[in-house]
Chain A
Amino acid sequence: MIIDATVMFDLFVVTLACFGAGALGALVTARSPTLARIVGHGAALIGAMAALAFGLAGLAGGGMQLNLPDLLPIGGAAFGLDRLSAFFVVVIAAGAIPASLYAIGYTREYAGKHSLAGMGFAFNVFVVAMILVPLARNVLTFLVLWELMSLASYFLVITEHEREETLRAGWVYFVMTHTGFAALLLGFLLLAKATGTMHFVQWQVAAAHLDPSSRNLIFALLAVGFASKAGAIPLHVWLPRAHPAAPSHVSALMSGVMIKLGVYGLVRVGFSWLGVGPGWWGGTILIVGAVSAVLGVLYALVDADLKRLLAYSSVENIGIIMLSLGAAVLFQASNLPGIAALALIAGLYHTLNHAAFKSLLFMGAGAVLHATHTRNMEDLGGLMKRMPQTAAFFLIGSLAIAALPPFNGFISEWLTFQSLLLSFQISAHTINLIFALGVAALALTSGLAVACFVRAFGITFLALPRSHQAAGAHEVQWTMRAAMALLALACIVLGTAPSLMLAPLEATIFELMSAHADVQFNLTAVVANDGFGWVAPLWLALALIVFLMALPLGLRLLGANKQRRSYETWGCGRALQTARFEYTATAFANPFKRVFALLYRPVKELDIEFHPESRYFVRTIAYYNEGRLIFEDALYRPLLRMIETLAREARALQSGNVHGYLVYILIALVALLILTV
């Protein structure tokens, strides 16, 4: 299907226009909060829909080239659309549509407390910057848009700036994102200098002539920069702070969509800009991915804050994506392009799936927060009966993220497993061992994710409410529910009919790597590597439904007793059944805390206050069992201390003496003259 270039251009302009209208409209209607939120987010909704159309057209083959030489210095602004960029535009738009819809209802509670005009403005800038990043085709365009995206999201994160922890979260996010930016800047400039051009398209050809050591250095810098945006361990520390602090629709966008741009960068680095690299590139990404996956889910398991749990779970899923990305790079370096393409398809499909179910989960958490005003799972419970539809959507999200059939997470994890298992075709023992450990890490992650989301869903929604706020919860507004319903539908469709997106993905990979992926699929089945493994998700789903309907019928035919009586929970004859008897979130995670105590290094404290007159009577008992954040303690705090010490030493340079400063200028001038002449 040939798509007219003018159609593409028109869609592009419409998209930009909608977001522009949204941003300006939000500012213009600042007086009326209702109008501001509807105009701001409504325009973003329409813009996102246009962007989705644009992206889908791009996946079908439509291309676009746009050069605006006067917009930016050093090469101007250059935009281009190839299939990979189109895919990421689709991912972003698919996340932005429900998020905008959700935001219309969700931001109502900010009226009067915070500027809805500001939120609307920042939201539109954020989304449009995210959509434009994959389209950027030269260094400066990319960096400007990247920075715009980070700034807009920073302002959105600190929306609730009256809270100390939100400001702190924003600060950590700001520092981390700019550290990543610095790495990116350095990497890009080195690459531009080595290849002599600032344009991305020309890098692939020119990169073949680079010497290996500079290529490795550039790879390291760019990988670090993109990995920090994606949230890989140990650069993840901003994620569990920023995502819970932000308003829920922003969390959904950041977790579901923004961190995927780090993945986009990694794909470009691994496959487009630097040519085929040595094996250790893929190996490093794979190992970092495996570590992120396992550690991410382990931290999620013990967290009682619902949104921070979801943030750590994002770290886990980025780990899974990087696992397949690293495998793809490694396969490509080992001259197995078909399997590399399969691994890359798995990674990219998981990117799309994660956008779908993580946004859904964050929106569900936002709905819970909206209804109960608390994120603490220890105070929740019993919401199934009070918010049945939100609960159903959250359940679908939980099933999808736990990678259970017949939902979408299952398909992408299945594909990842297949590609990892095919590693036996490589004949190097070290690589085989790394892959085996990767399989083990992915399996452990998968099992732990099941446990994590049984806990997240079960403690939050099931049984009795653990506090007054939870008891008083009610179902949320229709816009929020509609957004969640859209995403739930996406999870089901992507899980039962994966070929809908796998076909365009295959075309994307072919365009990127010039290799056909080792996978065949039709509407009902997916087959990997000519029969190495297969699965038919649509059939599975149908069979599940058929059996689910046949069983009650069968029981009725057998003459089973149809009576049902409602009575209290069995409590060994106890007279009361209150919420205090339920299992708590902390208790549920206890086996994991004990098994993985080496990671959590829990700090246990037991304070017993005795009655003043006799030690036989106890007044209060307080038990603290907190896990320590080992990355903060072991990596960041020493680093920050070192920087502080250096800064203190450097203060000696600021003597206040004008003559001293003149000497500094002289020294700098002389140095520059020596370097350039």
Chain B
Amino acid sequence: MASLFEYMFKAPVVTETLKSSDDIQIQIIARQIDERARKSFGRSLHIREVDAGSCNGCELEIGALNNPYYDLERFGMHFVASPRHADCLLVTGPVTRNMADPLKRTYDATPAPKIVVAVGDCAHDCGVFAGGYGVVGPVSAILPVDAVVYGCPPEPRAILLGILAALEKRP
């Protein structure tokens, strides 16, 4: 217990500043929300992550967003459990047959205004699973997508920058 307290008080804040770089590829596709919503989301964005059949590689990178190094909370973003609480759906994976309907329901359960960010090559064009018998199509086949973050899997930095780009916000 003593070592825990020691660690809590002595260890420094290790959050890294977010810097863009050339190897990060992001694509902005559509804009579903108006100016007012975009400004508000820029200060406070609640994210619901949906795994539509991914290999979990992207999930590991998304999970890293909560750690002290990447710390997505400093941007006002926060992961939530229920789509009713969410403003942004973070979708990974090629959409499989089983997840197509739940994904649509999750989207419908999210109150407007909302944005969708597709993470990973699979979410963009099914990646290595393209043409598979269990795969329906990319996320854009089911939902209107606002931004895509390329990579297999993309770095946490890239995911963060992608979401910020969807909101037209600089890091």
Contact = CB atoms under 8 A, between A and B. Distances in A.
Q: Do A and B bind each other?
A: yes
B84 A573 contact: no
Interface stretch (A316-324, A389-397, A562-570): A562-570
B109 A567 contact: yes
A662 interface: no
Interface in B33-85: 82-84
A568 B104 CA distance: 12
B102 A572 contact: yes
Contact of A570 (B82, B99, B101, B103): B82
B109 A570 contact: yes
Q: Interface size class for chain A?
A: under 10
A573 B108 CA distance: 10
Interface residues of B, number: 13
B97 interface: no
A575 interface: yes
A574 B104 CA distance: 11
Contacts of A575: 101-102, 105
B111 A568 contact: no
Nearest to A573: B102
A567 B110 CA distance: 10
A563 B113 CA distance: 11
A574 B98 CA distance: 11
B106 interface: yes
A574 B109 contact: no
A573 B82 contact: no
A578 to B, nearest CB: 15
Contacts of A563: 112
Contacts of B83: 570
Contacts of B103: 573
B75 to A, nearest CB: 23
A567 to B, nearest CB: 6
Q: Give the one of A565, A572, A574 with max B CB within 10 A.
A: A572
A567 B109 CA distance: 7
Contacts of B106: 573
A568 B101 CA distance: 14
Contacts of B105: 568, 573, 575
B50 to A, nearest CB: 8
Q: Give the one of B82, B103, B106, B109 with max A CB within 10 A.
A: B109
Interface of A is mostly: loop
Nearest to B102: A573
Interface of B is mostly: helix
B102 A574 contact: yes
A570 B102 contact: no
A570 B102 CA distance: 11
Q: Give the one of A563, A567, A573, A574 with max B CB within 10 A.
A: A573
A241 to B, nearest CB: 45
A565 B107 CA distance: 13
A567 B108 contact: yes
B108 to A, nearest CB: 6
Contacts of B109: 567-568, 570
Contacts of A567: 108-109
Interface string B140-168: 00000000000000000000000000000
Nearest to B82: A570
A567 B84 CA distance: 11
Contacts of A570: 82-84, 109
Contacts of A573: 99, 101-103, 105-106
A570 B103 CA distance: 12
A27 B43 CA distance: 78
A32 B17 CA distance: 89
Nearest to A572: B102
Interface string B88-127: 0000000000010111011011011000000000000000
Q: Give the one of A563, A567, A570, A575 with max B CB within 10 A.
A: A570
A574 B102 CA distance: 6
Given A573-B105, A573-B106, A565 B111 contact: yes
A565 B84 CA distance: 12
A127 to B, nearest CB: 53
Interface in A372-386: none
A323 to B, nearest CB: 43
A565 B106 CA distance: 14
Contacts of B99: 573
A180 to B, nearest CB: 55
B132 to A, nearest CB: 21
Interface string A539-565: 000000000000000000000000101
A563 B111 CA distance: 10
Contacts of A568: 105, 109
Contacts of A574: 102
A568 B112 CA distance: 16
A264 B17 CA distance: 76
Nearest to B52: A573
B158 to A, nearest CB: 27
Nearest to A563: B112
A570 B108 CA distance: 10
A567 B102 CA distance: 14
A482 B109 CA distance: 41
A84 B99 CA distance: 71
A565 B105 CA distance: 14
Nearest to B50: A573
Contacts of B108: 567
A574 B83 CA distance: 13
A559 to B, nearest CB: 10
A603 B103 CA distance: 43
A642 B65 CA distance: 72
Nearest to A574: B102
B52 to A, nearest CB: 10
A284 to B, nearest CB: 49
Interface string A574-587: 11000000000000
A576 to B, nearest CB: 11
A571 B67 CA distance: 29
Nearest to B104: A573
Contacts of B82: 570
A570 B106 CA distance: 8
A574 to B, nearest CB: 7
A570 B83 CA distance: 8
A169 to B, nearest CB: 46
22 contacts: A563-B112, A565-B111, A565-B112, A567-B108, A567-B109, A568-B105, A568-B109, A570-B82, A570-B83, A570-B84, A570-B109, A572-B102, A573-B99, A573-B101, A573-B102, A573-B103, A573-B105, A573-B106, A574-B102, A575-B101, A575-B102, A575-B105
State the 8 A-B residue pairs at the shortest beta-carbon distance, nearest first. A573-B102, A573-B105, A570-B109, A573-B106, A570-B82, A567-B109, A567-B108, A570-B84
Given A563-B112, A573-B106, 8 more contacts: A568-B109, A570-B83, A570-B84, A570-B109, A572-B102, A573-B99, A575-B102, A575-B105
